[in-house]
Structure 1
Amino acid sequence: MLLTKFDPFKQFKDLERNFYNYPSNNESVNGFVPIVNTREGESAYHIDVDLPGVIKEDIKVDINKDVLTISGERKTKDEVKEEDYYKVETSFGKFTRSFTLPENIDIENIEARSDNGVLEVIIPKKEELNSKKSIEIK
């Protein structure tokens, strides 16, 4: 007795789902993809990147036109084998994350700092000019 409903198109649906969910060129199948949080404050945009185990010398922040790119590498550590087996769940390798910047930023004053495995990039906003003005009629 068949307890599940037969779907003749299930394999096609699975194939389509796997096709569209396959990693892009920027992501590797088993590589390190850092977690990113972005937020907007009153005077700046903030990008926080979780980079545990990555030293600041292995991180690079670049701007090309209106794209900010954070790249680097989480290097493998020497594992100590106490037995004949061990398990490593941490992913290693090179990473790249890119962000399109809005027009209202002060590109000359962008700052980046690394503290406790978190890279924070602060992107200040340009001061908005007062677009409201009364014109005196002479």
Structure 2
Amino acid sequence: MAGITRYDPFNLSRVDPFSDIDDLFKGFFVRPMALEGQPQMQIKMDVKEADGAYTVHADIPGVKKEDIHVTIEGNQVSISAEVKKEKEEKQGEKVLRSERYYGKVARSFTLAQDVDEAKAQAKYADGVLELTLPKKAVSSAKKLAIQ
């Protein structure tokens, strides 16, 4: 009988006038990207840390490597790509349907340690961007002589 509670008609904690407010806006803020012919593309990635470097695998399918841009500023890494998707359906000489999408996707993240930009490497094959980001050597503290 642990689930039995005493009914109190004057208890206001049971009444929540805003309990259904989330249902009011459900589906109201739908992204227009869900239309047919437009990709719902976002960059998905794995970030791994080793002793001397970070390794990032980012899924960017259907993009040419010339359209991918990676910038490194300290410990912040930004990946952006320009997506160009074209699809055309023909019957004979007449074009019945043509779908084209041009857009840009981007993703930024911050690492725990600064990255050595000079030694960083990027490879792109089979829709996967692989970044090797070596960690910057931590400078040792310098003791200043007081004059």
TM range (shorter): 0.5 to 0.7
Aligned pair 1:106/2:116, yes or no? yes
How many angstroms does 1:112 deviate by?
0.8
- In proportion to residue count, which structure has more strand? 2
- Counterpart of 1:125 in structure 2 is 135
Contact 2:80 2:107 in 1 (8 A): yes
- Counterpart of 2:87 in structure 1 is 78
What code does the residue aligned with 1:77 have? E
What code does the residue aligned with 1:44 have? A
- Counterpart of 2:45 in structure 1 is 36
How many angstroms does 1:52 deviate by?
1.1
CA-based RMSD of the aligned residues comes to 3.6
How many angstroms does 1:115 deviate by?
0.8
What code does the residue aligned with 1:120 have? E
Identity %: 36
Distance 2:75 2:24 in 1: 36
Aligned pair 1:68/2:77, yes or no? yes
- Counterpart of 1:4 in structure 2 is none
Indicate the SS of the match to 2:88: coil
What code does the residue aligned with 2:130 have? E
Deviations 1:64-118 (A, max 9, x none): 3432111111211232246x679x8xx8631010011333532321111101110
Contact 1:106 1:124 in 2 (8 A): yes
Shift of the 41–103 alpha-carbon distance from structure 1 to 2, 3 Å rule, reads: closer
Contact 1:51 1:117 in 2 (8 A): yes
- Counterpart of 1:48 in structure 2 is 57
Number of corresponding residues: 116
Q: What's the TM-score, normalizing by structure 2?
A: 0.60
Indicate the SS of the match to 1:80: strand
**1:95 maps to which of 101, 105, 129:** 105
Max radius of gyration: which structure?
2
Contact 1:104 1:126 in 2 (8 A): yes
Q: What's the TM-score, normalizing by structure 1?
A: 0.63
Shift of the 85–10 alpha-carbon distance from structure 1 to 2, 3 Å rule, reads: farther
Contact 2:75 2:114 in 1 (8 A): no
Q: Which runs of 5+ in 2 are unaligned?
A: 1-15, 34-39, 142-147
